[in-house]
Amino acid sequence: MPPLSMLVRPLLGAPLPPEACDAPCEAPCDAPRGALLLQVACGGRHTLALTQRGVPWSFGCNGHRQLGRSDAHGDGALEPRPVSALSATRVVQVACGGAHSLALAEDGGCHAWGKNQNGQLGLGHADLVEAPTLVALLPRRAAWVACGGAHTAVLVRLPE
C-alpha cells in the first residue's frame, strides 16, 4: 500500500503559537499494511482513524490522554499508532470530542477515554481517563456514538 498522506497539525516539540495551529501541514505516514480506512474522526487537536479490520489508530495532541495510547506523551504523537487497549475488541465506529474519544464495539459496548471534567465520558465521575474504558452505565447496547467539544451522545438499541 502506498504511503498515506494525512493532514495533521505539528503538535510535538515546543508549544506553538495559536496562529500556527491554523496552518495544517502534510505528514506522510504508512497505514497498516493492507488496511483500508473506513472512518476518520477529528477532535479539537487529535484524530482517530478506523481500519476495515476494526482497529482504531490515533494521533495528535494527547494533553488529556485522548489518544488512549501508553506510548504517546502529553505533547502528543504525530505518527498514527493503534490504540492497543482495544486490540481484542472489534471497533465499528469512532468519535472525537474536544479532548475525549469514544469507540463503539461490534458487540454494542461503548469505550470512552480522555478529558472528563464535565462527565462527558458517561462513567459516573469527572476524572481524567487515560485508557479506553467500557461505559457500564448504558442501559442497553450502543448503536451510534457522537461527540461535541465537551459532551457525548450515544444512541442505544431498543429491545426487539
Ranges of each domain in the chain = 4-156
Say whether domain 4-156 belongs to CATH 2.130.10.30. Answer: yes
pLDDT band, residue 110 (cuts 50/70/90): very high
Mention every residue, 6+ apart, whose C-beta is less than 8 A from residue 100. 43, 64, 66, 112, 113, 114, 115, 116, 120, 121, 147, 150, 152
To which H or E segment does residue 92 belong?
Answer: strand 91-96
What cell does 139 get?
442501559
Task: Give the highest mean pLDDT range of 6-10, 21-25, 99-103.
Answer: 99-103
- Phi and psi angles of residue 18, each rounded to the nearest 5 degrees, phi first: -55, -35
How many whole angstroms separate alpha carbon 53 and alpha carbon 32? 10
- pTM given for the model: 0.80
C-alpha to C-alpha distance for 112 and 63, rounded to whole angstroms = 16
Reported as a pLDDT band with limits 50, 70 and 90, residue 34 is: low
Please determine, for residue 21, whether its predicted confidence score (pLDDT) is greater than 90. Answer: no
Residues 6 or more apart from 28 whose CB is under 8 A from it?
A: 3, 4, 5
* Grid cell 496552518 in the structure block, residue: 23
- 63-87: average pLDDT: 90
Beta-ladder partners of 36: none
